[in-house]
Chains A and B, each alone.
Chain A
Amino acid sequence: MTAITTARRPLRGRRIVLHVVIGLGALAMVYPIMWMFAASLKEDSAIFSQIGLLPPVFDFANYAEGWNGLGEPFSTFFLNSFVIAGLAVIGNLVSCSLAAYSFARLQFRARAFWFAIMLGTLMLPYHVTLIPQYTLFFELGWVNTYLPLVVPKMLATDAFFIFLFVQFIRGIPRELDDAAKIDGAGPGRIYLQIVLPLLRPALVTGAIFTFLWTYNDFLSQLIYISERRLYTIPLALRAFLDSSGHSAWGPMFAMSTLALAPLIVIFILFQRQIVDGIATSGLKG
């Protein structure tokens, strides 16, 4: 009897400590965002002069102003960002998993060479390929459309995800492939029926990242989009600020807070996919 009770007490204490530490850590993560939300409830002239975190009044005027502040309702920008990010997700998942499967599972001539090239494309900073790419897309007539933002994703230009999927595919035991091969399956069937399902956690991760990074991508969207009705969220948010003139900080913070909401929702929805996904790698059958 005594042995059990003494064993339980330190365990609960440790649990509490763990909760406190993780909780404090979580607060540290969240503080700047709380500040931003608080700022969105204040007037411009109060945001930078008032020291306290909490606003005296919870004033949502900035949200109304920000929503219509750019001539178009902000819903337009949300829709645009969603479309681009959504297409980017599909493009990346399909094209990068195809390429990753090839690198990870198939033997072909000069595989190591092409793998190195693939990684190499990650190492050149974007700013120096910006101009040649712009010229290329201009010649194609794709400027001021979403094509330069979406088509590259369909063609596996995001080597980050190729490498990500490669490493995860390599974590899938070959025995499964071999078993399927005995059944007469070719690489296509193996890819579709064995690898892809087991790749689900990585695919979901890839989907989240692609969505997030495309949603937040500023520079390439700036370069290729000129019409207001095609604007995306990052462009719209920047448009509130003017370092040589009048900046609308309140509305900008308000819309930034609002723009975070879909990301949080998507993350919460999808993270269960990562975690509640396949807990075993199905060595049976």
Chain B
Amino acid sequence: MDRRKFLTLSALTVGGIAAVSACGSGSGGGGGESAGGELRVAQFGSAHRMGLFEQVFEAYTAKNPDWSLTLDAASNDAYLDKLATQVSGGNAPAVMGLFHSAVAQFARQNALVELDEYLGNGLDTSKFTEGLVDLGRVDGTVQGLSFGDNAHGSMYDVDLLESLGMQLPEPGYTWEEFLTFSADITRAVGGDFYGTEDRSSQLDQIFKVWLLQRGKYAFTETGDLGFDKSDLTDWLELWQMLRDEGAAPPADITAEAGGTFDSSALIRGYAANHQTYANALASMQALTESRLQLTTIPVNPAGSGSGHFVRGSNWVGLYARAENIDAAVDFLDFAFNDLDGAGILGAELGAPPNREVRDSLEYTEAEQNFIDYINLISDELGDTAIPLAQEFPPSWSDINTEFSTAVEDFRFGRTSVSESVDRFFERAESAIQAAR
């Protein structure tokens, strides 16, 4: 390498830096005056969802030409990494999409705007599902809103059921019936196929529904555990029985399912159902050619209620240190209530919280099935939900992990029921104490 080449290289480098710093708009901040400016919106999800948001932005800008909206998107798994970094650096977008498990965390760290003064005053929630807005209360004030109503549900491969001469279970079927027909399905299909999957290790999924049927919530208002050893013991033994009867798959088949839809037992061809949040229906449907339909999680006829409740999904909060809060509020109102905004989003983020909007939109077959199901829960079967702050106390993350460990250890046969239960309560206690 001679001197000339070296110098050319250096010149290229300097030129490169110059070119590169010309790209990009530098650090984005707010506009400042309410007369107009830029509003940044952070959202998680796939390109499809981002496309919808871009359309909503265009619709909003058409009505409010002084404002330009930009999307700060990231895929789900890395979304919080980026958002938390931005909040920490003081540079977060004004409108922040949040996972339901993150809202309380952000609120407790004073990262969110208190929205109470805007409710009914710039942000119309009068047509929302009753009680939904209160779910976003943390420490007394509303700090998060939900883009879509959601509920726990179970989706079945109805093509398979019909080929076996069976039908989709009617909403409200019991645990007894669940055990019987799941075992029937397993026997009828044979091989490595099971009537139900096993999602018993997730604190926020069917466990909550089952627990509520016993009249208990996972956490109390003070952040303590809302259930005791006998509950967890019963839960572990229930699913052991389901596995013993052949209704549910063994531990290793279940363990192969990650958190993604493509890895679920249903899609992989091991189970007839998928028990999760109802808004997963459309995405699951896209991955298989069989028809999927929603019904409830099994119900306890002697219990106190159905255990199902309307909850939020795809929450959103406003960044406490952002500059254009009024504009952000106005945008949210547009996205929730204006048909030009909410109509674009449709059922993508959940059932539109504004009931009038919800009833006036058109849906695909899968989406309609979902909307009908949500209406069923909120109008007929639903119990009262608890606010996010209670559902996700400060110690939630640790307890969630310990719960999975307890159930999985037992599932794999590494511990006995009592060992698992004792260890869980021991560790949960210390996590709660540590979080105080």
Q: Taking the complex as formed, is B268 at the interface, i.e. its CB lies under 8 A from any CB of chain A?
A: yes
Would you call A223 and B6 a contact (CB within 8 A)?
Answer: no
- The B-contacting residues of A in range 224-247, CB under 8 angstroms, are 225-228, 230, 238-247
B27 & A141 in contact (Cβ 8 Å cutoff): yes
Chain B residues within 8 Å of A141, by CB:
26-27
- The contact of A94 among B13, B85, B280, by CB within 8 Å, is B13
Given A145-B26, A146-B20, A154-B13, A45:B89 Cβ within 8 A: no
Does B50 lie at the interface of the complex (its beta carbon under 8 Å from any beta carbon of A)?
A: yes
Q: How far is the CB of B106 from chain A (nearest CB, A)?
A: 16
User: A46–B13 Cα gap in the complex (Å)?
Assistant: 47
**Stretch of B186-194, B255-263, B321-329 contacting A (4+ beta carbons < 8 Å):** B255-263
Q: Are B20 and A134 in contact (CB under 8 A)?
A: no
- The number of chain A residues with a CB under 8 A from chain B is 56
A225 to B74, CA, bound (A): 10
Tell me, in angstroms, the Cα distance from A223 to B91 when the chains sit together: 11
Please indicate the chain A residues that have their CB under 8 angstroms from the CB of B12 in the complex: 90
Expressed in whole angstroms, the Cα–Cα distance for A228 and B69 within the complex equals 13
- Least CB separation from A226: chain B residue: B72
We find that the number of chain B residues with CB closer than 8 angstroms to chain A is: 60
Indicate if A142 sits at the interface (CB-CB under 8 A): yes
Q: Which residues of B contact A86 (CB under 8 A)?
A: 16
Give every chain A residue within 8 A of B288 (Cβ-Cβ). 45, 49
Known contacts A138-B27, A245-B348; is A154 also within 8 Å of B17 by CB? yes
Is A70 interfacial (CB 8 A cutoff)? yes
Q: Say yes or no: A242 contacts B75, CB within 8 Å.
A: yes
Interface string of B1-14 (1 = CB under 8 A from A): 11100100110110
Instruction: Output the nearest chain B residue to A83 by Cβ-Cβ distance.
Output: B20
Say yes or no: is A219 at the interface (Cβ < 8 Å to chain B). yes
The answer on a CB contact under 8 Å between A239 and B75 is yes
B25 at the interface (CB under 8 A from A): yes
Q: Is the CB of A242 within 8 A of B76?
A: yes
Cβ-defined contact, B76 with A131, below 8 A: no
CB closest residue in chain A, given B284: A246
Identity of the chain B residue whose Cβ is nearest the Cβ of A196 in the assembled complex: B1
Which residue of chain B lies nearest to A231 when distances are taken between CB atoms in the complex? Answer: B73
- Please encode chain A, from 128 to 170, with 1 for each CB lying within 8 Å of some chain B CB and 0 for all others: 0011001100100111111100110010000000000000000
Known: A135-B88, A242-B76. Is A227-B48 also a contact (CB below 8 A)? Answer: no
- Given A243-B260, A245-B46, A48-B91 contact (CB < 8 Å): no
Of the candidates A145, A146, A227, A239, which one forms a contact with B46 in the assembled complex, judged by CB atoms under 8 Å apart?
A: A239
Whole-angstrom CA separation of A87 from B9 in the bound complex: 10
Evaluate contact between B17 and A150: CB separation under 8 angstroms.
Answer: yes
Whether B88 pairs with A134 at a CB distance below 8 angstroms is yes
Residues of A with C-beta under 8 A to B50: 70-71, 239
CB <8 Å contact, A248 and B48 = yes
Cβ-defined contact, A145 with B23, below 8 A: yes
- Which A residues are in CB contact (< 8 Å) with B260? 241, 243, 247
Known A131-B88, A144-B28, A245-B283; contact A222-B82, beta-carbon cutoff 8 A: yes
- A contact face: mostly helix, strand, loop, or mixed: helix
Which A residues are CB-close (under 8 A) to B162?
A: none
User: In chain A, residues 93-149, which have Cβ atoms closer than 8 Å to a Cβ of chain B?
Assistant: 94, 130-131, 134-135, 138, 141-147
Q: Is B380 in contact with chain A by the CB < 8 A criterion?
A: no
Distance to closest chain B CB from A97 (angstroms): 10
CB distance from A54 to the nearest CB of B (A): 19
Say whether B120 faces chain A, with CB atoms less than 8 Å apart.
no
Contact with A along B172-196 (1 / 0, CB 8 A): 0000000000000000000000000
Complex: A141 Cα to B90 Cα, angstroms: 12
In the complex, which residues 127-158 of chain B have their Cβ closer than 8 Å to any Cβ of chain A?
A: none
Known: A45-B287, A130-B85, A192-B6. A242 touches B20 (CB 8 A): no
Chain A residue nearest to B86 in the complex (CB)? A134
Evaluate contact between A91 and B13: CB separation under 8 angstroms.
yes
Answer yes or no: A217 CB below 8 A from chain B CBs.
no
Cα(A230)–Cα(B21), bound, Å:
12
Q: How far is the CA of A45 from the CA of B21 in the complex (A)?
A: 43
Residue B413, interface by CB 8 Å: no
A192: chain B residues within 8 A (beta carbon): 1-3, 6
CB of B261 within 8 A of CB of A247, answer: yes
Contact B25 A246 (CB under 8 A): no
CA distance A240 to B72 in the complex (A): 15
A141 to B269, CA, bound (A): 51
Which listed residue (A130, A143, A244) contacts B45, Cβ 8 A? A244
List B contacts of A46 (CB < 8 A): 289
In contact, B286 and A90 (Cβ under 8 angstroms): no
Q: How far is the CA of A84 from the CA of B49 in the complex (A)?
A: 28
Decide: B16 and A247 in contact? CB cutoff 8 A.
no
B81 CB to nearest A CB, Å? 7
Indicate if the CB atoms of B24 and A144 lie closer than 8 Å: yes
Contact present for A243 and B287 (CB under 8 Å): no
Asked whether A67 is an interface residue with its Cβ less than 8 Å from the other chain, the reply is: no
Tell me the smallest distance from the CB of A218 to a CB of chain B, in Å: 7
Q: Is the CB of A245 within 8 A of B45?
A: yes
- Interchain CB contact under 8 A, A223 and B82: yes
- Complex Cα distance A239/B6, Å? 39
Closest 4 CB pairs of A and B: A242-B46, A145-B24, A238-B75, A143-B27
Known: A71-B50, A222-B78. 5 other contacts (CB 8 A): A83-B16, A142-B26, A154-B17, A238-B75, A244-B283
Of the A-B pairs whose beta carbons lie under 8 Å apart in the complex, a sample of 8, sorted by A's number, is A44-B286, A45-B288, A138-B27, A144-B26, A192-B1, A192-B2, A238-B78, A245-B283
